[in-house]
Amino acid sequence: MSFRGNARALRIAALALLAAAAAGPAPAEEALTVASWGGSYARACAKGYHAPFTAETGIEVRLDDYNGGLAQVRAQVETGNVYWDVIDLEIADAIRGCDEGLLEPVDDLELPAAPDGTPAEEDFYPDTQTECGVGTLFYSTIYAYHPESFSGEKPATLADFFDLEKFPGRRGMRRVPYVNLEFALIADGVPLDQVYATLDTPEGVDRAFRKLDTLKSQIVWWEAGAQPPQMLADREVVMSTAYNGRIFNAQILENQPFVIVWDGQVLDIGQLGIVAGSPNLEAARRFVTFATRTESMLGVARHIAYGPARRSGTPLVSTHQETGVDMRPHMPTTPEHLSRSLQNDWEWWSDNADEMNERFSAWLAR
């Protein structure tokens, strides 16, 4: 082996690589990093309004995945390494992030009017806007099951999810207290309009955790929205809580026979916020404004079963882009799905999230 020749070649390669490493990938003209929920939802947003945004403004949109919560935003802001510009988040987190100075205020944005000219303030459904977040869509947390897991009677109510005798087998649940506490209370017989009043008392919280205790040994915890359909398909669990849109996409795109149980669904609003100290503040504000156009919301609704946050969008919901399936019966806001639903009380959660998270992780560790 001629080592000297190799050594020279190595040295040249070394220099070239170090130069490449120091330079990093060439930065694009202008780019935004958007943190979203990954999987089919992120793909729906990318097709629904990221691509049109890039086409209109020339600003590239890069997607990063996360699983909710403010931890990563807080870590970025506190260490001064802000690399997310826009974040797709739960409304309770938008309020808490605002209070903690983690998000930029966006209540001064001039939001676009509806296609028929109705001003934005009138067009948005009530309670969809907060100081640091603009609402874009309705989604819901439901539970779904794989029909082949049960030979006889199928689960139909939220109480069935907690009924291990009638429906034995492991269940998937999201690894957060959010929504699980509500599900536990509803399954335990608390009337829908009493859920948050009950949670507001220490006994009510105890009751929710006691109900979760009965399932604890059979729960497989998920973190990413893409996991429940996968766990159901792999038969790792017999049923799982999930976001309705993810189950819908598995049903129509992958022909999975999953069945959604709408009983006791918890309805939520998805918001967009801007991370405090975003290096691309102006572009981020343009992006958020663009996302609140009725057409943007409808774009998302052509790829995943999440309903627009504007009145003008609701009647315009049409079909699934790739399969032509009518989207309206799959939306969480469809009247028949709303009959037994709970609107998430984001105010309660923004005040109690810390305490509940702490209690939940102590409960998990035991």
State the number of CA atoms in the 13 A half-sphere of 275 facing the CB.
27
Token look-up 């915890």 returns: 221
Beta carbons of 181 and 205 less than 8 angstroms apart: yes
Beta carbon of residue 253, minimum distance to other proteins (angstroms, whole number): 11
Residue 69 vs 112, nearer CB to other proteins: 69
Beta carbon of residue 318, minimum distance to other proteins (angstroms, whole number): 28
Residue 77 vs 283, nearer CB to other proteins: 77
Beta carbon of residue 312, minimum distance to other proteins (angstroms, whole number): 32
Residue 63 tokens read as: 């997607």
Beta carbon of residue 67, minimum distance to other proteins (angstroms, whole number): 8
Residue type, 33: T
Residue 14 vs 197, nearer CB to other proteins: 14
Beta carbons of 47 and 299 less than 8 angstroms apart: yes
Beta carbon of residue 160, minimum distance to other proteins (angstroms, whole number): 18
Residue 201 vs 361, nearer CB to other proteins: 361
Beta carbons of 144 and 258 less than 8 angstroms apart: yes
Residue 120 vs 184, nearer CB to other proteins: 184
Binding-site ranges for other proteins (CB under 8 A): 1, 3-4, 10, 13-14, 17-18, 20-22, 24-25, 33, 38-39, 62, 64-65, 67, 69, 71-72, 74-75, 77-81, 83, 96, 99-102, 170, 219-221, 223-224, 226-227, 230, 233-236, 254, 276, 350-352, 354-355, 357-358, 361-362, 364-366
State the number of CA atoms in the 13 A half-sphere of 9 facing the CB.
5
Residue 2 vs 339, nearer CB to other proteins: 2
Token look-up 């939306």 returns: 331
Q: How many residues does the chain have?
A: 366
Angle between helices 202-215 and 346-365 (to 10 degrees): 50
Beta carbon of residue 154, minimum distance to other proteins (angstroms, whole number): 16
Mark residue 68 as left, alpha or beta (left: phi above 0; alpha: psi -120 to 50; beta: remaining).
left
3-class secondary-structure state, position 222: strand
